[in-house]
Structure formats: structure tokens, C-alpha cells
Amino acid sequence: MGNLCTHHDATVVLDQQQEALTKEQQLSNPNHLNNGTDSASGGSSFFEIDHGVFIPASEHRDIKYVHRQLKYAQKEARKKKKPIFCLKTGESERHEFQSGALNHPLVIEAVETLFVTLKVEIPPGEWDTTVVEILDKRGKPLLPAIADDQLRKRNLVVVVDTLVKGLKLSSKPVPKYLSLMLEEESGKTEVLPTGKSKKVDRVAFFGVMDSKLTEGKFAEMNGVLEVEVCMYREQQLLRVRYASRVTSLGTLMKQALSQNLAKSIYYQSQEELILARMTCDQLQRSSHIIIKMEDPSQIRKTTAGRTGLRSTSLRFVPMTDLQKLHANTLVNEGRFNEATRLLSARQSARMTKGFADANLRRDSVDLTLVESWWS
């Protein structure tokens, strides 16, 4: 993949075309204010400021690109000391990725608030795909481009990793919500021997007595991404989702039994049974605590877990699973203010609005971030 926005002649031609279009718009619409940008929206601000918090002027499902010309994006990048998020798209690719990685609410927020946004539309016949690159203030690529197929497959780990690396290479701080998102998405991905990656879902099930206590203890374990209280045949379980590149099922079993967090271990495969037996032998526990999960379809969610979130205005906030895990633990420890620091500015605005206006209150604890955000 060649570098984006680095071919001088092509860039000059595009800039000339856009300047001509801008002049035509101004002549046809005397109320059109360019304000030093080339945005179709007529300005670079998409947000209101309310008590120091960025609030989106409107809920939108796509990134709002302020610039269509590289030189204007460079000017803003130099002024604001931000890297440039550049989307390069061909004529046949100008539709939005309705289910792609760029439509995630936190990705939209990160791009619009931490980067200078630039969209370069290439004339027909010269480009037939869509790619993303992070550029420096000179318009030079900082990282390899994100290809079209990664954007369409909703490969969040690639997109978020690129955003984080772009910020670090630009000596900009990475907000906590974005680093947690990268940790979570990386934990749901495994690298194959071929070098390609695949999505995985690694879970462990433990029978527990005190779900609130054990939920917090599991949340502190390295590599745990989500802890959810469930019921299975009238027994209370914890479903623990974990990152296999950080921890293992065997490690979780040892920690659960050695810390007296689990009264039983549930298994579904022969491999899980062997691991459970080995763990019990090592810790001198009876193998009677090992139980086969005969019918996983009988697992049902409950509202017994995440009590910290349910008891505060954080219940109105759409969050990622890892945000919920850490925020819930902090609230249960009496550290509500620290929990709010895990949120993005727009998430914080959701919490404030939900607390102030009953019509905007929607319990988001048991919904995914995307489900809650767009509902």
C-alpha cells in the first residue's frame, strides 16, 4: 500500500479542485462561512461546551470530517499540535461503513476530538478502495495504512491500536477510555501461526456464594476482561471472560480455588475437565467440585451483579465491558470519582444528562455500548 497524501502533484490537483468548489459554494451562498477551513459543514466545531465538557451537537454515527484539503488540515494540526486522521476514498467507496470499525461511538469521539480530520476523495478511475492513515503536521504518514477490509470487518483492535500509536508518536496523551478499549479488544483477539488474527471468546464458569465479593476479586486478576453474574439450574455462577494472551483457564482456576472465591468449577470440554482435575490435585481439593455444564443454553443473566454501577448515575452510561468491570469495582470501594475518570467526555455527558433529566435515563448496565448508545 502506498503512502497517502504524499504525492505532491496529485495533492495540488485535488487542492485546486476543492478551492474551485469552495469558491463556487461561497458565490452561490453568501451566508456560507468558511472560517479558515474547507469543511462542508462550514466550520470546525461539532461540539457545544457545557461546564467544561464536550457534548456532541448531535448524535451521529459517522466521523465528521472537517477538512477536504491537506493544506488546511496541516494548518490546524500545526496550530493545535494534533496528528491528522486521513481517510482516503475512491468514487465507488464514498458510502459510509454502516457496520464498520469507524462507526463505533468511542472511535468516532477519539477521532473527532484527538485528531484533525481529513477526508480525501479521489476522482473516478484513480482509486477504488478506502484506507486510513495517521499523518503528522507535515502530512507524512506516521504508521502503515489501515486497509479497506480491516475497516469493513469491524476490526476494532487494528483501528484503536493505530489511534493509540498515532497519539504516542505525536507525544500526545492517550485517554484512559481509549487505552481500556485497546486492552479489551486485544484480549478478544489471538494471533494465528500464519500471522493473521482472529476473534476469540475465552470464558470460565465458577459457582460462587457471594457474587459481590467474588466479582470484585476476579476483576482484580490480570487478564480478566468481564465478570458477569449468571444463573444455571438455580445455581449462581460467575462467567469470567479473559484474555488468553495474558492469562489462562488453568491460572484462573488456581486463583479462584486458592483464594476461596469459587465453590465449584464448571467445564464444557474434555480439555477443561483435565485442567480442573489437575488444579484440584495441586491444591488438594476434592474433584467433587468439578461439575459438567450439560446445557449452556440454560444459562441466564441476572441483575445481581455490577451493584456499584446499578446504585449510581453510572448506570445511565453506555460503557465497554472492561470499563464496566473497573468502574464497578471502584464504586464498590467507595471511589466513585476515580470511576468517572474511566469515561470519555461524551460518556460523562451521558451520565450528567441522565442524572438531570428523567426522560433521558436509560439503564445501560446490561447492554453493550453500541446497543445502548444508538437506542
In the chain (375 residues long), the average pLDDT of successive 10-residue segments reads: 41 41 36 39 35 43 91 96 93 53 92 96 76 94 88 83 97 97 92 77 92 89 95 92 94 95 95 96 94 93 92 94 96 96 94 76 90 85
Q: Are residue 161 and residue 23 in the same domain, yes or no?
A: yes
Q: Which residues contact 156 (CB under 8 A, 6 or more apart)?
A: 101, 104, 107, 181, 185
Extended beta strands in the chain, E state:
47-50, 53-56, 84-89, 116-121, 130-135, 189-191, 197-199, 202-207, 224-232, 235-242, 264-267, 290-292, 300-301
Q: Is residue 197 part of a domain?
A: no
Whether residues 18 and 33 fall in one domain: yes
pTM attached to this predicted model: 0.81
Nearest-CA neighbor of 352 among 108, 104, 53?
53
Is 281 within a domain? yes
Which residue range forms the structural domain that includes residue 168? 8-174
What pLDDT, on the 0 to 100 scale, is given for residue 199? Answer: 85
370 and 312 within one domain: yes
In a domain, 187, yes or no: no
- What's the confidence (pLDDT) of residue 9? 36
Check whether residue 29 and residue 117 sit in a common domain. yes
- Using an 8 Å Cβ cutoff, are 333 and 366 in contact? no
Residues 220 and 71 in one domain: no
In a domain, 183, yes or no: no
Q: Which of 301, 324, 356 is the last residue of a domain?
A: 301
81-93 burial, b for 16+ CB within 10 Å, e for fewer? ebbbbbbbbbeeb
Same domain, 13 and 75: yes
Same domain, 325 and 258: no
Considering its fold, how many domains does the chain have in total? 3
> At which of 301, 324, 348 does a domain end?
301
Last residue of a domain, one of 249, 268, 301: 301
- Claim to verify: residue 213 and residue 293 sit in the same structural domain: yes
Interatomic CA distance for residues 21 and 14, integer angstroms: 11
Residue written as cell 474433584? Answer: 287
**Same-domain check for residues 295 and 258:** yes
Instruction: State whether 115 and 262 are in the same domain.
Output: no
- Pair 221, 246 in one domain: yes
pLDDT of residue 195: 67
| 347, three cell numbers | 460518556
DSSP secondary structure letter of residue 175: P
- For the chain, what percentages of helix, strand and coil (3-state, to nearest 5) are there? 45, 20, 40
Identify whether 194 is part of a domain.
no
User: How far is C-alpha 236 from the chain's CA centre?
Assistant: 30
What pLDDT sits at residue 237? Answer: 94
CATH of the domain at 130: 3.40.30.10
77 with 207, same domain? no
Stated length of the chain:
375
Q: In this structure, is residue 190 part of a structural domain?
A: no
Q: Which three cell numbers stand for residue 263?
A: 465453590
Q: Report the pLDDT value the prediction gives residue 25, as an integer from 0 to 100.
A: 36
